[in-house]
Structure 1
Amino acid sequence: MTTVPRSAGPKPAGTKIPATVVTGFLGAGKTTLIRHLIGTAQGRRLALIVNEFGEVGVDGDLLKACGSPDCTEDDIVELANGCLCCTVADDFLPTLQKLLDRPEPPDHIVIETSGLALPKPLVQAFAWPGIKSRTTVDGVITVVDGAAVADGRFADDEAALAAQRAADPTLDHDNPLEELFEDQLACADLVLVNKTDLLDAAALGRVEAELARHLRPGVKTMPVRHGEIAASILLGLQAAAEDDIAARKSHHDHEDDHDHEDFASFSLSLPEQADPDALLARLAPVIAEHDILRVKGFAAIAGKAMRLVLQGVGSRISHYYDRDWQSGEDRRTRLVVIGRAGLDEAAIRAALAA
């Protein structure tokens, strides 16, 4: 297969470097999408800004393990502040400036937000002096967990909310997760309905119809499986999103600031595990009892040279071996736990350490 040569040298004067914002709720599949994006970049020099929620840089580490010549470790910047939209001036803009100031700048910048980030403040940042003349938002890509929407989660209609309450009594109609989900859709230039392998045609049709209620005119949805979609489709939308920011409505348009006190996150470290099945057997009841939204991380398994990646969304837990433990790495199990405010950290730590 012929590979397009990597670009080199400075950009022509006046050329704006495009940036793609990848947003979506926890566990929708953003990191999987970006890993596939790297693999189909065809020589584009990509730079990634990864906004990890929690102290353990799980998503950034996974991306570094891709092994693609078009995305080296130097091209990945990890911001572990939990929410880019809350620290635009302090974290995001200086990071973007450094990428633009490189002697050999990237062809395209990809920004993976945390599941808690509002996309609109990030788009607005591209209109700031010193940034607007040098880069543009090529597009906002919102990744949706199709199976979750089909189950009535993070939807706006009352029937879906009633079904969700029946399954989870802690969820309220005014839960901010609803607003966050709607804001991510309202800001999108393209919506990817991921995990369609879990849906039949009728369910997919219902999901797309529900999503369409929250989209701006002309914004399309595309069904995908396992985040597999070519870079040629995602990159080059030329949306210039910062120029039509007023059309991207948000529940937070009249607020000076926002917070995420409805969420809590902590990381924990465990020793090497005897086998993955035993670890999963401990995780499942803890997730259910404490209403944990997300668990992700790496596990060291006795007798295995490779590390085990764990990705849990609600009751669904996936796992796979991704690479060998490197020389000098501490063979320990490290997990990030994300849930709503009031998470009983001590009880969760005790249950997983048992």
Structure 2
Amino acid sequence: MPDLAKVPVTIVTGFLGAGKTTLISHLIRHAGGRRLAVVVNEFGTLGVDGDILKSCAIPDCPADNIVELANGCICCTVADDFIPTVERLLALDPRPDHILIETSGLALPKPLLKAFDWPAIRSRITVDGVLALADAEAVAAGRFAPDLAALEAQRAADPGIDHETPLAEVFEDQLACADMVLLTKGDLAGAAGLAQARAVIAQTSPRAVPIVELAEGAADPRVILGLNAAAEDDIAARPSHHDGADDHEHDDFASTVVPLGEIADPAELAARIERLAREHGVLRVKGHVAVAGKPMRLLVQAVGARVRHQYDRPWRPGEPRAGQLVAIAERERLEPQTIRAVLAA
């Protein structure tokens, strides 16, 4: 007899560098017997997150169950990319018990929710829940949730300001769509920062949702999976800055890919990335590089001036020891030639 039960889908959203890939990597390793499938929607042309997840595939979530969509936001390419991908996953034998979707850090989750109403998949899958990851240190600092009173004062002083900054809009839309908020980087925020971040999220979110602190992606699947939210039936309760628009675009952001030869010193590369954040407004840098004399590939992940790097796997036989980094910034501040010059200096 065919299994007519809907396959639950968890949407993992959150701003750049909030820890989405780390969370999904943990869930893959601690699936509790669930057969998982993962869809990774990378912004730009360099699929770092998909590569990271495939490197930790296990029998309950083999590499074939991890699909990467790097052609833009999936809510903008529903018919061409998203629907065929979901149909392919549902046709797997055995069929996945649960599907995880990691959105681009710049994605608005509400248009993606609307895609679940498409007739081709409406009767076969359901949105178990939307998880919004928020960087506690960044939220506490007020980077993505500006004070409303201060904002209104600014509007009054400058009639040319008619909306929030793009970063704030993305953050607020992700919170508004969430069934649960996972607060990450608490070790960097400290107790006071965590309390402040909780207060900001509670004030910003249009409805009360659980807030769970998360360290290194180690979430208990019993807590975050099986929410049974059926979020596709609850879209009206999830307001967006873009409600009423026929579609949405990500013209506020752009990315550029920088090829790199072997480097001598990872610390020196990290210093260059920090310079890009401080002097040129680069929001995110990620990718991998080859270090001279090292058999392992160096994985680089940066959020603003906070840079992490670690060796993730050996270079494969015959694989070119060539590095690539993708840099993301607000479009008006993205300077590809400058970014290449700084990274390759």
Is TM > 0.5 for Structure 1 vs Structure 2?
yes
Distance in 2 (alpha carbons) for counterparts of 1:239 and 1:316? 35
Change in CA separation of 1:91 and 1:346 when aligned onto 2, cut-off 3 Å: same
**2:24 equivalent in structure 1:** 34
Tell me how far 1:322 sits from its aligned partner.
1.1
Question: 2:68 matched to which residue of 1?
Answer: 78
Q: Does 1:290 align with 2:290?
A: no
Alignment partner of 2:119: what SS? coil
Return the alpha-carbon distance in structure 2 between the equivalents of residues 89 and 239 of structure 1. Answer: 24
Using a 3 Å threshold, how does the CA distance of structure 1 residues 83 and 160 change in structure 2: closer, same or farther?
farther
Cα deviation for residue 199 of structure 1 reads 2.2
Q: 1:216 offset after TM fit, Å?
A: 4.6
Pairing 1:49-68 to 2, within 5 Å after superposition = 49-68=39-58
Counterpart in 2 of 1:346? 337
1:251 aligns with 2:241: yes
Question: C-alpha distance in 2, partners of 1:11/1:312?
Answer: 46
* Percentage of matched positions with identical amino acids: 59
Mapped partners of 2:204, 2:122: distance in 1: 28
Q: How does 1:234-313 map to 2 (within 5 A)?
A: 234-313=224-303
1:26 partner letter: L
Greater shift in the superposed pair: 97-106 or 143-152: 97-106
TM-score, with length taken from structure 2:
0.93
Long gaps (5+) in structure 1: 1-9, 163-170
Of stretches 153-162 and 67-76 in structure 1, the one that deviates more from structure 2 is: 153-162
The offset of 1:72, in angstroms, is 1.6
Equivalent residue runs for 1:160-179 within 5 Å? 174-179=164-169
Question: How many equivalent pairs are there?
Answer: 336
Asked whether the equivalents of residues 140 and 200 of structure 2 are also in contact (C-alpha less than 8 Å), the reply is no
**Alignment-derived partner of residue 167 in structure 1:** none
Instruction: Find the aligned partners of 1:113 and 1:325 in 2 and give their Cα distance.
Output: 28
User: Can you give the 5+ residue segments of structure 2 that lack an aligned partner in the other structure?
Assistant: 153-160
Cα distance in 1 for partners of 2:313, 2:82 equals: 30
Distance 1:236 1:11 in 2: 22
In structure 2, the residue corresponding to 1:252 is in which secondary structure?
Answer: coil
Residue equivalent to 2:158: none
Partner in structure 2 of residue 168 of structure 1: none
Cross-structure match for 2:156: none
d(CA) in 2 for partners of 1:232 and 1:329? 40
- Alignment-derived partner of residue 165 in structure 1: none
Q: Is the contact between residue 145 and residue 204 of structure 2 (CA under 8 Å) also seen in structure 1?
A: no
Q: Deviations over 1:3-58 (max 9, x none)?
A: xxxxxxx852x200000000001111100111111111022111100001121110
Contact conserved, 1:153 with 1:160, CA < 8 A, in 2? no
Q: Which amino acid aligns with 1:349?
A: R
Is the alpha carbon distance of 1:160 and 1:72 closer, same or farther for their aligned partners in structure 2, counting shifts above 3 Å?
A: farther
| Per-residue deviation, 1:250 | 0.8
RMSD over aligned Cα atoms = 1.9
Write out per-residue CA displacement over residues 307-328 of structure 1, whole angstroms, 9 at most, x where no aligned residue.
1111010010011111111112
> Equivalent residues in 2 for 1:197-208 (5 A)?
197-208=187-198
Q: TM-score, normalised by structure 1?
A: 0.90
Specify whether residues 39 and 161 from structure 1 end up closer, same or farther in structure 2 by C-alpha distance, changes over 3 A only: farther
Checking the alignment, whether the CA contact within 8 Å between 1:139 and 1:189 is kept in structure 2 is yes
